[in-house]
Amino acid sequence: MWKVGYFQFRPLFGQVERNVERVVHALRDVEADLIVLPELPFTGYFFRDRQEALDLAEDPEDSPTLQVLIALCKGRNFHLVTGFAEKRGNRCYNSAILIGPDGVRHIYRKLHLFHEEKHWFDPGDRPLAVTEVHGVRIGMMICFDWIFPEAMRTLAVLGADIVCHPSNLVLSYCQQTMLSRCLENGVFAITANRIGVDRRPHGSIRFTGKSQIVAPRGELRHRGPSRKEELYITSIDPLEARDKQFTPLNHLMNDRRPEFYRPLVESNPSGSSGATRASD
Ligand code: ACM
């Protein structure tokens, strides 16, 4: 069995040190194998422009925030998945990182940027991947990736048992949709969402909380509150995700017909309208 969970909290925009302290304080006594934090939990979300995102972002090779978090993982002997703003020269990514007692294991750069994120970040430029931790396969995707089923499907095809999903959700659809994502892929998902409001001179955005853990048959194990902080830890058997037998005669992975899904890997097979005539 694995003890997994999330910390849903209210980051304060631009107050990186304070937000890191908040996380370290909340997790200081936790006994767990894997904890997930929200998207961009240290910088906050609602940037004025790309320069502001770059100014707050950190290069993982030289990141005070990551050093503190790795020390936390060492001290508590757990793994952590967290969002962070990743700076590489003049490039800036909305990323998630898997770290453990031995340091950085993997970095994922958000593939599907939401709304104004397209002004602040470069789109992810690395393949989706799965990382093994003590025999359990961990995949990462970030927030709006949920609306592209290909993201979670790819992680499932790569063998993910648990999909960690740091989020800053602002719409109401994701939490319910993730039940279907888990059912169709036979995986666990931990969606860690933030709460609170980023109130900035250029406007405000409210985040919806309701972080959750979903099991491979689409069963909601737990959903948190929409406006309160919550540290939630539970026990799961990650190997439940290895059973892809949906009925005695149906297997979620082996029954796929990828030879008929070719349009999925072409950029825009039906042209810009996206429509296909019945006679085609
Ligand atoms: C989102 O992708 N942060 C909505």
Mutate which of 95, 113, 143, 194 for ligand 1? The one with the most ligand atoms within 8 Å of its CB, which is: 143
Q: What is the pLDDT of residues 30-52, one digit of tens each?
A: 999 999 999 999 999 999 999 99
Give the SS3 label for residue 201. Answer: coil
Look at residue 225 and tell me if it is in a domain: yes
Query: How confident is the model over 125-132, as a mean pLDDT?
Result: 98
Contact assessment for residue 187 and residue 155, using Cβ atoms and an 8 Å cutoff: yes
Q: What is the pLDDT of residues 51-96, one digit of tens each?
A: 999 999 999 999 999 999 999 999 999 999 999 999 999 999 999 9
Domain extent for 194:
2-251
Query: How confident is the model over 106-116, as a mean pLDDT?
Result: 98
Confidence class for position 267, pLDDT limits 50, 70, 90: confident
Q: Is the pLDDT of residue 276 over 70?
A: no
Look at residue 175 and tell me if it is in a domain: yes
The finding on whether 170 has its CB within 6 A of some atom of ligand 1 is yes
Look at residue 227 and tell me if it is in a domain: yes
Look at residue 59 and tell me if it is in a domain: yes
pLDDT of residue 273: 55
pLDDT of residue 19: 98
Confidence class for position 278, pLDDT limits 50, 70, 90: very low
Mean pLDDT, the chain, integer: 96
Query: How confident is the model over 109-115, as a mean pLDDT?
Result: 98
Look at residue 257 and tell me if it is in a domain: no
The finding on whether 241 has its CB within 6 A of some atom of ligand 1 is no
Q: Is the pLDDT of residue 130 over 90?
A: yes
The finding on whether 208 has its CB within 6 A of some atom of ligand 1 is no
Q: What is the pLDDT of residues 177-193, one digit of tens each?
A: 999 999 999 999 999 99
Angle between helices 174-185 and 149-157 in degrees, nearest 10: 30
CATH number at residue 41: 3.60.110.10
Q: Is the pLDDT of residue 280 over 60?
A: no
Q: What is the pLDDT of residues 246-256, one digit of tens each?
A: 999 999 999 99
Q: What is the pLDDT of residues 142-155, one digit of tens each?
A: 999 999 999 999 99
Beta strands in 172-251 (DSSP E): 188-193, 197-200, 203-206, 212-214, 220-223, 230-236, 245-247, 250-251
The finding on whether 174 has its CB within 6 A of some atom of ligand 1 is no
Look at residue 203 and tell me if it is in a domain: yes
- Closest CA relative to residue 133, chosen from 82, 167, 99: 99
Domain total of the chain? 1
Residue 145 CA: which ligand 1 atom is closest? 2
Catalytically annotated residues: 39, 110, 143
Look at residue 265 and tell me if it is in a domain: no
Residue 39 CA: which ligand 1 atom is closest? 3
Look at residue 267 and tell me if it is in a domain: no
Residue 170 CA: which ligand 1 atom is closest? 4
Half-sphere exposure of 190 (CA within 13 A, CB side): 30
Distance 164 CA to ligand 1 centre (A): 15
Threshold 0.85, pTM exceeds: yes
Contact assessment for residue 158 and residue 129, using Cβ atoms and an 8 Å cutoff: yes
